[in-house]
A = this chain, B = another copy of it.
């Protein structure tokens, strides 16, 4: 069995739920909020701050990309969080088989040869329904908020990895959870993890 399973996911695709159930099925830990907690402790930043800045771009980061980068003003808070996040994820992977949700873990662990890289996505309408139904997000313009989240997450991923988020070739398997269904996704991933 492959030891480490990374799950990159679109917001609202159910990728986190799939990761959790998959880990239960395989009897291994699933790291999601634990990563945020550890990074918060090590960096001194608040958990909410780490949660957002460790996966999304934000106006000041975008601004630094647009303006003259030759004026180097030292590492940003985001750079500090990125470095600690890399360290925490590598340490968790060292501890043994696990599922890691999000946070560019596929890229951070790219030098290991025991990683199974998964991307979970879903149709926009299904994601909008999910964030309202399951996460209790506001019903106001969910599509607009999803598109903005996608854009910020893709920009973050590209900034730190220099790769395109959501391109098949960066992953071993990519599943549309609204087409396939959450439970069937878990079943497929369990099969692959045990047989590949």
Residues of A whose CB lies within 8 Å of any CB of B are 116, 119, 121, 166-169, 171-176, 179-181, 184, 187-188, 191-192, 195-196
Interface residue SS majority, chain A: mixed
**CB within 8 A of A188: which of B166, B169, B188?**
B188
Copy tally for this chain in the complex stands at 2
Q: Which residues of B contact A168 (CB under 8 A)?
A: 119, 121, 166-168, 171, 174, 176
Q: How close is A183's CB to chain B, nearest CB, in angstroms?
A: 9
Q: How close is A141's CB to chain B, nearest CB, in angstroms?
A: 21
Q: Which residues of B contact A188 (CB under 8 A)?
A: 188, 191-192
A195 to B175, CA, bound (A): 14
- B167–A176 touching, CB < 8 Å: no
Q: How close is A38's CB to chain B, nearest CB, in angstroms?
A: 29
Nearest B residue to A176 by beta-carbon distance? B172
